[in-house]
Amino acid sequence: GQQLNQSPQSMFIQEGEDVSMNCTSSSIFNTWLWYKQEPGEGPVLLIALYKAGELTSNGRLTAQFGITRKDSFLNISASIPSDVGIYFCAGRMNTGFQKLVFGTGTRLLVSP
Amino acid sequence: KAGVTQTPRYLIKTRGQQVTLSCSPISGHRSVSWYQQTPGQGLQFLFEYFSETQRNKGNFPGRFSGRQFSNSRSEMNVSTLELGDSALYLCASSPGQGNTGELFFGEGSRLTVL
């Protein structure tokens, strides 16, 4: 099945550090979203982006919709232990109704 | 407001059997989507239902089917189970008006096929 290329695959950082991750696709998407999944839970929506070039923040999280509409970036500033989890990007095509194509995920570990 | 509820949370089946998973969406949500999550393939779209109609389907064999009831509750069925069907099956709901991609996921049903 189709998956978006997400990097890095995993990150182990110290509390207080900033984190950057990105997602690329060979296809154009009309919507980019970032989800976080913790063990035993389903993914939870963090940020949704609807326009090329859009930059949106949600607390310490900032995400951008790439100009080419084929990529997106997520930054987490001043990481804390509860940021631990797997972060997934997801893209939605214009004709896909609510169908999302997910990235391969970035596993984030934060050391106190 | 109650979240998306999936039952059962865990189940074990043997090859050749069939399984039915249930999903109750958030009250008022009319769209229900199903995803399969495995370590190898990640999160893969199975299908989406809106107002009892399947309006999108992923690339899965016909053994995977679903339906939605008038109260928006949904079920998915997998027949003739194979070992590779072992996965976490996630249900997600959304209001349905406006396709935003903003999905609310349940905790999933973890299926193990022996």
Kindly tell me if the per-residue pLDDT of A80 is higher than 90: yes
Cα A27 to Cα A4: distance, rounded to the nearest angstrom: 9
Residue of chain B whose Cα is closest to the Cα of A50: B100
Cβ distance of A104 and B55 shorter than 8 Å: no
* pLDDT exceeds cutoff 80 at A33: yes
For residue A96, the model assigns a pLDDT of: 67
Question: What is the average pLDDT across A61-84?
Answer: 96
Q: Does A99 touch chain B (CB under 8 A)?
A: yes
Matching residue, tokens 């008038």: B70
pLDDT of residue A1: 75
With 80 as the cut, is the pLDDT of residue A95 above it? Answer: no
Average pLDDT across chain A, whole number: 94
Q: Hey, are the CB atoms on B56 and A96 less than 8 Å from each other?
A: yes
* Displacement of CA A73 from its chain's centroid (Å): 7
Instruction: Tell me if the bond preceding A39 is cis, omega within 30° of 0.
Output: no
Q: Which of A40, A90, A100 sits opposite B107 (nearest CB)?
A: A40
Residue B107 burial class via C-beta count within 10 angstroms: exposed 0-12, middle 13-18, buried 19 and up: middle
Q: Looking at residue A97, what is its pLDDT?
A: 82
Task: Evaluate if residue A94 carries a pLDDT over 80.
Answer: no
Other C-beta atoms closer than 10 Å to the C-beta of A23 total: 28
How does residue A14 score in pLDDT terms, banded at 50, 70 and 90? very high
Nearest by CB to residue A3, choosing from B35, B42, B105, is: B42
Could you list the pLDDT tens digit for every one of the 114 residues in chain B? 679 999 999 999 999 999 999 999 999 999 999 999 999 999 999 999 999 999 999 999 999 999 999 999 999 999 999 999 999 999 999 987 677 889 999 999 999 999
pLDDT of residue A15: 97
Which chain B residues are closer than 8 Å to A98 by Cβ?
31, 33, 48, 50, 56, 92, 94, 96, 99-101, 103
Torsions phi, psi for B83 (to 5 deg): -55, -35
CA atoms of A7 and A104, how far apart (whole Å): 8
Region A72-95: what's the mean pLDDT? Answer: 95
Say if B95 is an interface residue toward chain A (CB within 8 Å): no
> Measured between CA atoms, how close is A112 to chain B, in angstroms?
27
